Structure 1
Amino acid sequence: MSVYDFPPLAAALDAAYSSVLALTGWLAPAFEDVAPLAAVVLLTLAVRSAFVPLAAAAVRAQAAQRRIAPAVRELQRRYAGDATRLQRELAELYRREDASPFRGMLPLLAQAPVLTVVYGLFSHPMISGHANALLSSAVFGAPLGGSLWSAVAAGAVSWPAVAVPLTVVALAVASAELTRRRIRRQQPAAPPMLAALAYASVIATVVVPLAAATYLAVSAAWGALERPLLERRIVRPATP
């Protein structure tokens, strides 16, 4: 039994599927054969736009964590031998500074149900008992239901069919590099692995269906551009 068989999730997936098919049909006169991919891109932009307030909340929470980090380290040093007192002092610090070690995770948790539906839409072969027509579409010979990895493994490396997934992977790589550099600039002492995690989505774009890879790459590009803009708007004005 798949998680997508859970009735509320199945209903949400079916509704999203119908919406994307309608969007594809609406885009077809202008984009022709590229309409399915254009629909994926537009849906990704719509989802990320809806999550902007949550992204802003995460930026505020992480800025607060960085602001009080010296005080947290001092409390940990002072009460290293008294765990109960340490927890009490930390709770008071978080209350006084209106910060929380978990607040930065809330936006990600809030996105989880939507991201689950979106990923199922772009990767699940069957939706509500019928074939996922979105994955049977192709753009310049590249099927939205196939991955770059599967194409290379099968020997189907004709240039038109590989150019589209390669472009998607290149977008993911560029976005990951921007994110990695931002992390290294903001946290010079952070372990290298933390910055390298930005490339996790690149690996996914190689092995997941092209439709899902497009969602991941466009979402990563949005995040790489959104984060510095939010930080410039939210964090810097509050810095003396």
Structure 2
Amino acid sequence: MFGFLDVPAQGAQHAVAWLADLVHPLSGELSTAVAIVASIALIRLALHPLARAAVRGEKKRAALAPQLQKLRDKHKNDPARLQEATLSLYRESGASLFAGCLPMLAQAPFFMVLYRLFSSATLNGTPNAMLAHTVFGVPLGGHFATALTAGPQVLVFAGLLACLGCVAYFTARWQRNRPGAGDVPGARLIGLMPYGTVLIAAVVPLAAGLYLLTTTAWTVTERAFLHRRLVVG
């Protein structure tokens, strides 16, 4: 179904293999996992300008909160007029409703390629050698459901899921504490969304789970830093 990803997945395979060879003297059998994490870090560094734009957008929207509340009070009985006035306010202020989505959307192709790399037995008809690499004895292409019957292997997944749960907790807490967070429709449901990464990691290959852990930890750290340091004029 996703055969069109085989070519970029093969390119990713060569890149990860090269990085794994580079770090092997220091990381041993964990070299492929370390290479995956390093690859994600490089991708996130490249996407850092989008993260800065997203935080600027969030700060601008937070600054508009008092004006938005006035619009809600003024047009509470006219949803169409409220929507029009809200969009007009965003245009005049230069704020964007969608800037916060840019980093996530930009990452989507990388996640799809990585998922293909560690979920397909063959790439363009060639056996996928990456599936043989392991993390503490667990294949990077392995799944949580399989590890449940493999004794100690389940501990690796348990550790991964626990780490993702911790990152999700801090992400949800940060989202709740943002200015104006309570004014967003469905705020409680949005607060639960970070925990979706735990559910996803339970069904995708271990390598994809490592991707989720690395990128979500990077996101919450990056956003916290930028919200403290980035000044919007």
CA deviation vs aligned residue, 1:125-153 (integer Å, no higher than 9, x gap): 3222222211222232211111222210x
Q: How does 1:116-135 map to 2 (within 5 A)?
A: 116-135=112-131
Change in CA separation of 1:211 and 1:76 when aligned onto 2, cut-off 3 Å: same
1:199 alignment counterpart: 195
What RMSD over aligned residues (CA atoms) do the two structures have, in Å? 2.4
CA distance in 2, matches of 1:184, 1:231: 14
| Higher mean C-alpha deviation, range 83-92 or range 106-115 | 83-92
CA distance in 2, matches of 1:225, 1:104: 15
- Contact 2:111–2:208 under 8 Å retained in 1: no
- Deviation at residue 205 of structure 1 after TM alignment: 1.8
Partner of 1:48: 44
| 1:156 aligns to 2:150 (yes or no) | yes
Q: 1:90 to 1:120 in 2, by over 3 A?
A: same
The within-5 A match list for 1:96-175 is 96-152=92-148, 155-157=149-151, 159=152, 161-175=153-167
Letter in 1 for 2:18: A
1:227 aligns with 2:223: yes
Q: State yes or no: 1:58 paired with 2:54.
A: yes
Q: What are the within-5 Å matches in structure 2 for residues 65-104 of structure 1? A: 65-79=61-75, 86=82, 88-104=84-100
CA distance in 2, matches of 1:162, 1:111: 28
Relative to structure 1, the CA distance from residue 86 to residue 200 in structure 2 (aligned partners, 3 Å threshold; closer, same or farther) is closer
Deviations 1:178-207 (A, max 9, x none): 111112222356633221111111112222
Equivalent of 2:26 in 21, 24, 30: 30
Q: Work out whether residues 144 and 202 of structure 2, in 8 Å CA contact, stay in contact via their aligned partners in 1.
A: yes
TM-score normalised by length of structure 1: 0.83
Question: Per-residue deviation at 1:94?
Answer: 1.8
C-alpha distance in structure 2 between counterparts of 1:117 and 1:86, whole Å: 41
* Structure 2 residue runs without a partner (length 5+): none
What is the CA-CA distance between 1:212 and the residue it aligns to? 1.0
1:17 aligns with 2:13: yes
TM-score under structure 2 normalisation?
Answer: 0.86
- 2:169 corresponds to which letter in structure 1? E
Amino acid at match of 2:218: W
- Are the equivalent residues in 2 in contact too, given 1:179–1:224 (CA < 8 A)? yes
Measured in 1, the distance between the counterparts of 2:170 and 2:19 equals 31
Distance 2:68 2:11 in 1: 46
| 1:102/1:140 CA distance change after superposition, 3 Å | closer
Structure 1 residues 44 and 82, CA, compared in 2 at 3 Å: closer, same or farther? same
- Alignment match of 2:177 (pick from 177, 185, 190): 185
Asked which structure has the greater RCO (Cα within 8 Å, sep 6+), the reply is 2
Question: CA 1:25–1:225 in 2, change beyond 3 Å: closer, same or farther?
Answer: same
The one-letter code matched in structure 2 to 1:120 is R
Give the total of aligned pairs: 229
Cα shift at 1:49: 1.7
Partner Cα distance (2:183, 2:87) in 1: 26
